[in-house]
Structures are given as structure tokens and as C-alpha cells.
């Protein structure tokens, strides 16, 4: 079964919801770099953001494939899930590694939307992709941690009640560089203004991303998730789900571009005939469809492995790579097909074009995926 045919009822419901948030809604927010509060509220109320939370914690307990269907449809509709997709999966760190008390305290409220757990603090300005080089440090003092350091590109921090924060609790050692990191659950409502400063970073797309400064922020020791020193492993555990879900958003974007370009190629008449009659216009469209369909099968495969509890790191990475390249090819094709009108804001092509470019860099850049495949699958020597 290809991805488009899965979960038809969920897809139809998502499409109906998204129809209430047309291009004009997103264009206005884009101009102001404003948060899509009404859209996120609607998704929350419809229960779409809690599908991965087990029923015992008041979620709907569906698998990752249902979540990919939801995000794909959001993006295919011209909307963007970036403002809230992390509400779906960030809770996974608590679900997999939290104490029973933490799960009871947080997960039902995340499921209902009463608590927004959609900030994920890993990246730092000086460490880049080499996460073992992070220096944000949490020093234990009695029943609390004192956190100092900086994070960059932390999305939705201003729109989150809780944040999963990766920090060092012991200095880095060359022998075991990934040891000595821990995960803390930071209550943003208590933290902002009391040791945490959030500064928005304006980017080429409307993504609510920020820089965070920690100056002696106090976090209760009971907010440690799992064991001290094992945080890197916990964060890695969550990355497969994130990559598969982002790949689904790319598939949705690619479908959006293909739908729009296809229609435009039929309607636009130049030299007395629809531009779609020219193979120079048809072929890129067809190629975009082929690439998107192939990538979507890879996304399905990765999601199936994830749901079966089987190792899927390589497949999740490969799905993200091919899907982000398919969406970018489709974006470029759609812009070209629309000619000058592709640059006009009212067509939404230029906005989605900017939005979909992100996925070749975040949450993981293409080169790092290629490096993973080269070394882990093909047995090449590690380059770093």
C-alpha cells in the first residue's frame, strides 16, 4: 500500500481542518513571523497531536504511521506542521525514560494540550552537529541543578510550557565523549526571567526558532529524566521518530508542489496552448512525482520498522534524505512551472519553497546522513 492510501479517514479529517487555514492565513503570519496559534489550537482540539501517546495516558495510542499521515496531509494542504509537530514526539523521551511519577504528571496533560511539550534543546552555537561538544552544564547542588550555557535554534521555546534539555553533567572526556550528558525537563513558565532568557532568531521561514541563555537557572533534581550521564542515548532514541515524521512533512510538501504545478501547467496558456503540452514542462513534473513516490515508500518502510520495534536508524535517515531531496526538487520544479507568478506571494509557492529548504539542514543535515550510510552500512572508514 502506498502512503497516500493509508488512514483515509484521518487524512480526510486533516484535510477538512486545514481547509479552514488557507494560504492567506499563512501569508499573513509569514509576513509578521507570527505563531499560528489558531491552527495549533484546532489540531490540539481535534486530537491530532496526541496520536503517539498511549491510551493509558489519555492519548489515542496510534502508531507512527498515523502520525506520518497527519503531517503529510497538513503539508500537502499548504499548511505547516513545524509550529507543533514536536508536541507529537518530544514526549517520547519522557515516555521511554521517565519515572512513573513523571509520566503520570505530564503525559495526560500533554495529550490534552494543557501542557505544551514541544521545545527540544540540543544544538549549541559552538558545538554544531558534534553534540558531544555541547557545554551547557547542569551542576548538582542538593535537590536541584544549576544550569549555565547557551543553546541556538531552539524552536517553539516561546510556545512551550516544558522543554527537554540536553546538557552536560560531567565534563567531556576523549575516551567516552558521549557519556556525561543528561536530560532535564525544564518548566519554561518558571524558568523565563529566572535564569532563562529567550531571544527569537528571525530566519528565512516562519519557524519560531530562538536562542536560549541559561544563567544559574535552577531546575529541581526530580526533573532529571532517566539516569544522570545517559542523556545522549535518550536523545538518540527519539531521533528516529523525528526524522521519519519530518520526512512525511517533506512528502506532503512535494505533493503540494506537484498538485499546484500540475494544475497550473494545464491552465496556463502560452503560444496558444497549455504549457503542460510541452515536454520541457511535463518531464520535470513527472520526475518530481517519481521521486516523491519513491521517497514515500522509504518513509513507509522506516515507519513500519519503527512500529515493529525493530532497528530503523539507517532507514529513518535515508527516508529523511530522499524525502527532503524530493520536496526540494518539487519546489524548484513548481517555481519554474509558475514562471514569474511563482515569485508572487499570493501563489504560496515561494513561501513553501522557503519552508521546504530547511529539511536538508534540520533536524540533521544531508552530509551527516551520507556519513552514517557510508560508515554504518558500507563499512567505510569514519571521517570524523
Give the shortest CB-176-to-ligand FAD separation in angstroms: 20
CB of 272 to ligand FAD, least distance (A): 44
Q: Write down how long the chain is.
A: 384
Q: Which is nearer to ligand FAD, 116 or 338 (CB)?
A: 116
Output the smallest distance, CB 141 to ligand FAD, in A. 26
Nearer to ligand FAD, 154 or 275 (CB): 154
Query: At its nearest, how many Å lie between ligand FAD and the CB of residue 210?
Result: 9
Closest to ligand FAD by CB, 262 vs 360, is 360
Say which residues have a Cβ less than 8 Å from residue 3's Cβ, sequence separation at least 6: 68, 69, 72, 248, 251, 296, 297, 299, 300
The residues of the shown chain that bind ligand FAD, judged by CB under 6 A, are 120-123, 128-129, 153-155, 203, 207, 209, 358, 361-365, 367-368, 371, 383-384
Cβ proximity to ligand FAD, 144 vs 372, nearer residue:
372
Minimum Å distance from CB 375 to ligand FAD?
A: 11
| Coil/strand/helix, residue 196 | strand
Radius of gyration of the chain, Cα coordinates, nearest whole angstrom: 21
How many angstroms separate the Cα of 190 from the Cα of each of 132, 187, 195, 215?
28, 6, 9, 14
8 Å CB contact between 253 and 355: yes
Q: Check if the beta carbon of residue 261 is closer than 8 Å to that of residue 333.
A: yes
What is the rounded CA–CA span in Å between residue 237 and residue 213?
Answer: 26
Tell me the three cell numbers of residue 70.
497527519
Position closest to ligand FAD via CB: 128
Beta carbon nearer to ligand FAD, 44 or 209: 209
Distance CA(352)–CA(239), nearest Å, equals 24
Alpha-carbon distance 200 to 379, whole Å?
Answer: 41
- Shortest Cβ 128–ligand FAD spacing (Å): 3
For ligand FAD, which is the closer residue by CB, 117 or 265?
Answer: 117
Kindly give the residue spans of alpha helices, DSSP state H, lying in the chain.
8-19, 23-32, 37-45, 64-76, 85-89, 92-97, 100-112, 188-191, 231-267, 279-307, 313-337, 349-357, 366-372
Q: Which three cell numbers stand for residue 91?
A: 514526549
Among residues 14 and 79, whose Cβ is nearest to ligand FAD? 79
Backbone angles phi, psi at 341, to 5 degrees: -65, -20
In whole angstroms, the minimum distance from the beta carbon of 142 to ligand FAD comes to 29
Amino acid at each position: 500500500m502506498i502512503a497516500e492510501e493509508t488512514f483515509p479517514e484521518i487524512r480526510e479529517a486533516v484535510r477538512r481542518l486545514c481547509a479552514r487555514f488557507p494560504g492567506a492565513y499563512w501569508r499573513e503570519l509569514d509576513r509578521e513571523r507570527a505563531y499560528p496559534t489558531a491552527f495549533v489550537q484546532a489540531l490540539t482540539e481535534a486530537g491530532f497531536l496526541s496520536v503517539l501517546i498511549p491510551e493509558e495516558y489519555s492519548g489515542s495510542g496510534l502508531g507512527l504511521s498515523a502520525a506520518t499521515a497527519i503531517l503529510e496531509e497538513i503539508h500537502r494542504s499548504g499548511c505547516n506542521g513545524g509550529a507543533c509537530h514536536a508536541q507529537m514526539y518530544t514526549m517520547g523521551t519522557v515516555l521511554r525514560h521517565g519515572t512513573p511519577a513523571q509520566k503520570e504528571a505530564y503525559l495526560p496533560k500533554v495529550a490534552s494540550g494543557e501542557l505544551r511539550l514541544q521545545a527540544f534543546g540540543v544544538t549549541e552555537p559552538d558545538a554544531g552537529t558534534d553534540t558531544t561538544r555541547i557545554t551547557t552544564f547542569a551542576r548538582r547542588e542538593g535537590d536541584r541543578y544549576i544550569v549555565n550555557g547557551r543553546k541556538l535554534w531552539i524552536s517553539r521555546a516561546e510556545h512551550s510550557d516544558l522543554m527537554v534539555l540536553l546538557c552536560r553533567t560531567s565534563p567531556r572526556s576523549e575516551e567516552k565523549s558521549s557519556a556525561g550528558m543528561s536530560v532535564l525537563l525544564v518548566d519554561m513558565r518558571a524558568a523565563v526571567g529566572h535564569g532563562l532568557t529567550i531571544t527569537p532568531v528571525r530566519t528565512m521561514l516562519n519557524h519560531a526558532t530562538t536562542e536560549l541563555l541559561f544563567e544559574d537557572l535552577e531546575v529541581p533534581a526530580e526533573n532529571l529524566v532517566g539516569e544522570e550521564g545517559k542523556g545522549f542515548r535518550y536523545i538518540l532514541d527519539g531521533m528516529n521518530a523525528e526524522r521519519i515524521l519530518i520526512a512525511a512533512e517533506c512528502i506532503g510538501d512535494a505533493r503540494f508542489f506537484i498538485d499546484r504545478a500540475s494544475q497550473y501547467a494545464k491552465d496556463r496558456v502560452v503560444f496558444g496552448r497549455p504549457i503542460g503540452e510541452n515536454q520541457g514542462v511535463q518531464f520535470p513534473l513527472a520526475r518530481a512525482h517519481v521521486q516523491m513516490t519513491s521517497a514515500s515508500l522509504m518513509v513507509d518502510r522506516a515507519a513500519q520498522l519503527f512500529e515493529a520495534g525493530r532497528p530503523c536508524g539507517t532507514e529513518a535517515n535515508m527516508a529523511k534524505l530522499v524525502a527532503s531531496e524530493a520536496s526540494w526538487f518539487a519546489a524548484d520544479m513548481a517555481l519554474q512551472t509558475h514562471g514569474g507568478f511563482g515569485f508572487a506571494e499570493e501563489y504560496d509557492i515561494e513561501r513553501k519553497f522557503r519552508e521546504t529548504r530547511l529539511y536538508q539542514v534540520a533536524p540533521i543535515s544531508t552530509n551527516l546522513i551520507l556519513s552514517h550510510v557510508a560508515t554504518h552500512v558500507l563499512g567505510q572508514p569514519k571521517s570524523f
